Every structure is written in C-alpha cells, then in structure tokens.
Amino acid sequence: MKFTGYRKLPLTVQLAISLGLITVIAVPSYFTSDLIGYRVVALILLLAVSVLAMLFEIFPVLITALVSALAWNFFFIPPVFTLHIGEPEDALMALMYIAVALINVVLTTKIRQVEKDSRDKEERETTIRLYNTLLNSLSHELRTPISTVIGAADTLRENESQLTKEQQQELIAEIGIAGSRLNRQVENLLNMSRLESGTLKIKRDWCDVNELIFTVIANNEPTSQHHHVEFFPQEKLPLFYLDRGLLEQVLHNIIHNAVQHTPAGSTIHISAVPGAESCIITISDNGKGFPEEEIGHVFEKFYRLPHSSTGGTGLGLSIAKGYVEAHGGTLSLKNAPGGGAEFTILIPAELSSIKVQS
C-alpha cells in the first residue's frame, strides 16, 4: 500500500493506530528508561510522530503529538506519575518537545499539500493534453467519413438519373466504407471507456482460431485491398478456451494498424500456434517498422508515429494491449530482422484435445 493510501482510512482509525504506536513505543521505553535515559525517549517519540505525520491527516497526528508529550511528562520526566516538572531544563525541554512536534506536523502537512497540488496540476495538464489530442484526432477521423457520406448521398439524390449503375454502386460502397470507419472510431472510444472503468468482463468459450483469423481478414478486405494479407493455417490446431469477441478486436486493430502504416503492396503475415497452455499469434509486415526509440510508446493511448500522415485516434493498439492483458496475456512488439514490425500475442488458454483441420 502506498503512503497516500493510509490517509484514506477513517480519522478514528488513523487516531487509533497513531495512539497505538505511541503506546507500543512508550511501554518498553518505560522499563528501559534507566538505561537509555528519558531524554532519548523524547527523541524516539518525536521520530514516531514524524513518521505518523507523513502517513496520516493533520488532526489525528496533532492529537497524538499532544498525547505523546503528556505521556512523556507523566511517565518519564522526574518526578514521574505527575505532570509537575522538577527541573527548569526539563520544563524547557518539554516545551521544546511540544513545539517541535507541532511544527513538524504542520510543516509535513503543508509539504504534502504542496505535492498534492503539484500532482493535481500535472494531472490536469495531462488530461487537457490528452483531450486536445483526442479532439484533434477525432476532428479529422470523424469529419472525413462524414463528409464522404454527405457528399455521396447528395450526389445520389441530385444526380440519380445521370449516374450509371456502376457509379451509383461506387458511391454506395464509399458510404459503406465511411460508415464502417465512423463505427470503428465510436467502438474504439467505447472500448477504451470499458477498459478504464474496469467493466470489461472476459467471456471464455472454445474458439477455432483459424476460422477467427479468416473472419478478421475478410472483415478487413475493404481497407486492405491494396495489401497482401497472408495466413497459412496450421493443420490440427487445437481449440482455445478464450474470449473470441475480444481476440477478434485485438486482431482487427493490429491488422488495421499494419494496413494504415505500411505502403500499398506490402505483405502482412499472420500465424497461429499453440504454446504451453497458451495461444500464440504473430502478425508481421515487411514495411519500415517502428523507430527503436518509439517502440516503448506504441501502446500508449492516443499515440501516433511522429510525422505520420495517416489518420487514426491512436487508440487501436492501446485497446488491443488492454484486451490481451485482460486475458492475463502479453502483447509485444519488435522490429523484424528482415525489416518491418512484428506483433506477438500470447494468451494463456486451455487447449482442447480436439484438433481443427483447416
């Protein structure tokens, strides 16, 4: 538990823990005060108050500081078992103890408040930065397909009699592609919301990964028609017990990312093999790959390659990683030795004894 977590405890619990710590220190110190001296006990109690000031809110620590001062006076300063102080230097030391304890508590609290304000400011700046990034991305990603839909619909409505059947079908196809693009962006936003809110639930079932990959490839055909997507299914691949819907989204996002960031004519290769109680899927391409210094940021929200001319909100790979990790798996990226990027999905999953022949 982080230190900040202790401050979330109820004040009564914080006070009970604080007084308990002082008691734990005071009891053995009382029996050894002849050996260590009551002035050393004061230093030990001050140290305890300082530690409590870092952990808890100001109110219980202030109470604890006053109680520790009274306990030190009553049990340790001669004459003991009385609040009377016999020596002037002991009286001065008692006053200094109270002053130092209170100043320590107040200063520690103020320092914590300054740190909290600084963190809050940084979080607000980060939120604004992410919001602006998302807004800029969506302004392009949504405006373009919306313009396509409106333009194609207007053309069909105003020039229907002048358009050939072929031209009409092209315009309808453009509307379909733009609609799919809009739907993808909305789905990405909803999926990211599910991941961050913790409402994502894994629904495992037996899945034919070969068939799933063919489905994803078919669904990506409208945007990958200028690329070569290769998949040679492994014969007798077992069924895997995992969430088919989430894995489909993972594969779709990675393949779509490869299509976006590789030149026309590039090859995207997919392979699926069983591991030790796991499903391993590799997606590689023969594009330019990623700059080595950028690989560590690829799965961050709203990340896009510097100087990238293609669109996208930068959520696809982040969502893919979140879905894989929700399975307890890993999604990694490296540049392939021969050039291009290589994504590896490893999902722990039970394997069936039944083999699927493709």
Threshold 0.85, pTM exceeds:
no
pLDDT at site 313: 57
Please say whether the dihedral angle defined by the alpha carbons of residues 232, 220, 339 and 341, taken in this order, is positive or negative: negative
- Residue 87, pLDDT score: 82
pLDDT along the chain (358 residues), means of 10: 63 88 90 87 87 83 87 87 83 82 80 82 71 58 77 84 84 82 71 69 90 90 85 90 90 89 90 92 90 82 62 72 89 88 94 63
| Contact in structure between 101 and 46 (CB atoms under 8 Å) | yes
State residue 129's pLDDT score.
63
How high is the pLDDT of residue 312?
54
- The pLDDT assigned to 1 comes to 43
- Please tell me the predicted confidence (pLDDT) of residue 52: 84
**Alpha-carbon dihedral 26, 27, 29, 35, rounded to 10 degrees:** 150
Task: Please write down the long-range contacts of 1-8, taking CB distance under 8 Å and 24 or more positions apart.
Answer: 3/54, 3/55, 6/55, 6/56, 7/55, 7/56, 7/57
pLDDT number for residue 358: 47
